[in-house]
Amino acid sequence: MIVDNLKRLEEQISKKCELAGRRRTEITLIAVTKTQPIEIIKQVIDTGLKDLGENKAQELRDKAEILHDNVNWHFIGHLQTNKVKYVIKSAKVIHSVDSIKLAEEINKKALQIGKKQDILLEIKTSNEATKHGLSDEEEIFKLAEYCKDSSNLNLIGLMTMAPFTDDAELIRKSFVQLRKLKEKMNNSGFNLTELSMGMTNDFEIAIEEGSTMLRIGTAIFGQRKNN
Ligand SMILES: *Cc1c(COP(=O)(O)O)cnc(C)c1O
């Protein structure tokens, strides 16, 4: 079932890339494996997919210990400062940096293990109270400057979650906002290449609007029992 789902998803992504005039190779598909057991995750890895996403720090640590070979782990959930220690060894990219305090802790822990940590800033592009991330532009630029000045942080882009809605234009608005913010930041001296946006319900719009990292769970694994 998972192999079929992935095949179908891959076809949809390729088709959308073609329609949008983009190359498939510009986009990384991250399989969001949260709540999925190891046996299921192995089926995904066996298809050649290397990028996996988790939203809980200890869960990422535990899974990384078992599946140590050849996985690019993406930490996509809200990260508390005291849990950075669980993800710092394994995370290829931390998608959810949203405060100087967190950036400082990641830099410190990365320094300790001699690693330069790739990070994204999480931006709140909708009004939903449940969503994390920064929305104030001044604050965003301040945090970005802080990251740029940190020896062991490598700021490579921005991440967002679109509002939970069927309204395609509202979703698009979120993604356009993220893309424009990235352009604005690059115009003032940053060098951001990544836009982490697009989940099961909105990845096609995200591709149209320039996503370089899709975070997809349900379309691959089916509905999650819990979260
Ligand atoms: C769970 C999750 C996803 C994947 O969502 P699906 O709708 O299952 O594709 C993507 N991003 C984040 C931050 C998540 O927590």
Distances (CA, A) of 156 to 20, 90, 131: 23, 17, 21
State whether residue 140 is helix, strand or coil: helix
- Ligand 1 atom closest to the Cα of residue 34 is 1
- Quote the Cα angle for 100-106-111, to 5°: 125
Domain-embedded: residue 225: no
Q: What is the pLDDT of residue 69?
A: 74
Domain-embedded: residue 171: yes
State whether residue 215 is helix, strand or coil: strand
CB of 213 closer than 6 A to ligand 1? no
**Which residues make beta-bridge pairs with 72?**
51
CB of 13 closer than 6 A to ligand 1? no
Burial of 166 (0-12, 13-18, 19+ CB in 10 A): exposed
**Position 8, amino acid:** R
pLDDT block averages, 10 residues each, the chain of length 227 = 96 98 98 97 95 98 90 98 98 98 98 98 89 94 98 98 95 98 98 98 98 98 80
In which domain, by residue range, is 84 found?
2-220
Q: How many domains does the chain have?
A: 1
Q: How far is the CA of 55 from the centre of ligand 1 (A)?
A: 9
Domain-embedded: residue 141: yes
Domain-embedded: residue 227: no
CB of 32 closer than 6 A to ligand 1? yes
Phi-psi region of 49 (alpha: psi -120 to 50; beta: other; left: phi over 0): beta
CATH code, domain carrying 54: 3.20.20.10
Q: How far is the CA of 217 from the centre of ligand 1 (A)?
A: 6
Backbone angles phi, psi at 154, to 5 degrees: -125, 100
Query: Can you give the pTM of this predicted structure?
Result: 0.97
Q: What is the pLDDT of residue 226?
A: 61
In the numeric block, the tokens 């983009």 are attached to: 22
